[in-house]
C-alpha cells in the first residue's frame, strides 16, 4: 500500500511537517505502507504556474500522480486567517477533479492558538467532502501548547487507526483507471461501526 502525506508547512523546521510525520508513522503502524511526503513549499512556483497556464511542471506532476495513486492520504496545513493556507488550497485546485473520489483522507492542521481548532470542521472537512474523499471521523489539530501535552498523542493514534482501517478495508477496491464510490455501509464496516449506531 502507498500512503501519501501532503504538508503545507512553510518554515524549516515546521510544526506542520512534524505533525504530518507523526500521523504518517502512526498510520503505517496500523496499515503497513510505503510513505511519500509531498512538501508544498517546494512546489509553490510550479503550482502558481499551473494555475495560470494549465500545465504542471515535472515535480508538481509527480506529486499530483502520487496523490492520485495513493491508497490513503494525510493532508496537513497551517492555519492562515482562520482557514487553510492559500498554497494548500491551490494544490488541491490543480488536482484532477476525480483524483480523490473514494480515497481515505485524514485531515490535520496546526496553529498558534486552540481557538482555530474548528478549521478542521469548517474548512478542511467541507473541502474534502466536495472532492468526494472518505474523510476519517477524527481530525487532528495541534496548537502551540499541544506539543508535549496530554491529548495530542491519543488523537494522533485514534485518527491513524481510523485511516489505517479504511486503507486496509478499501485498498484494491479502486481500479487504477476509474475511481469507485464505496458505499457508506462499507465505510462504516471498515471502521467497525454498525449502521444502527449512526
Q: For the segment 6-36, what is each residue's pLDDT rounded down to a tens digit?
A: 999 998 889 999 999 999 999 999 999 999 9
Q: What is the pTM of this model?
A: 0.84
d(CA 183, CA 8): 31
The mean pLDDT of the chain is 89
Q: Is the pLDDT of residue 133 over 70?
A: yes
Q: Do 120 and 88 touch, CB atoms closer than 8 A?
A: no
Q: Is the pLDDT of residue 186 over 80?
A: no
Amino acid at each position: 500500500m502507498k500512503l501519501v502525506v501532503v504538508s503545507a508547512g512553510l518554515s524549516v523546521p515546521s510544526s506542520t511537517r512534524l505533525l504530518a510525520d507523526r500521523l504518517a508513522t502512526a498510520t503505517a503502524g496500523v496499515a503497513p505502507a510505503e510513505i511519500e511526503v509531498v512538501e508544498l513549499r517546494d512546489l509553490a512556483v510550479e503550482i502558481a504556474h499551473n494555475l495560470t497556464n494549465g500545465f504542471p511542471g515535472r515535480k508538481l506532476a509527480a506529486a499530483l500522480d502520487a496523490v492520485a495513486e495513493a491508497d490513503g492520504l494525510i493532508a496537513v496545513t497551517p492555519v492562515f486567517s482562520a482557514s487553510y493556507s492559500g498554497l494548500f488550497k491551490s494544490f488541491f485546485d490543480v488536482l484532477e477533479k476525480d483524483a480523490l473520489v473514494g480515497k481515505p483522507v485524514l485531515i490535520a492542521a496546526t496553529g498558534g492558538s486552540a481557538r482555530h481548532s474548528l478549521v478542521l470542521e469548517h474548512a478542511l472537512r467541507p473541502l474534502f467532502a466536495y472532492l468526494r474523499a472518505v474523510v476519517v471521523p477524527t481530525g487532528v489539530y495541534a496548537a502551540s501548547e499541544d506539543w508535549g501535552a496530554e491529548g495530542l498523542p491519543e488523537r494522533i493514534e485514534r485518527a491513524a487507526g481510523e485511516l489505517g482501517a479504511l486503507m486496509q478495508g478499501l485498498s484494491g477496491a479502486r481500479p487504477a483507471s476509474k475511481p469507485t464510490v464505496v458505499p457508506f455501509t462499507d465505510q462504516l464496516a471498515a471502521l467497525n461501526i454498525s449502521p444502527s449506531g449512526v
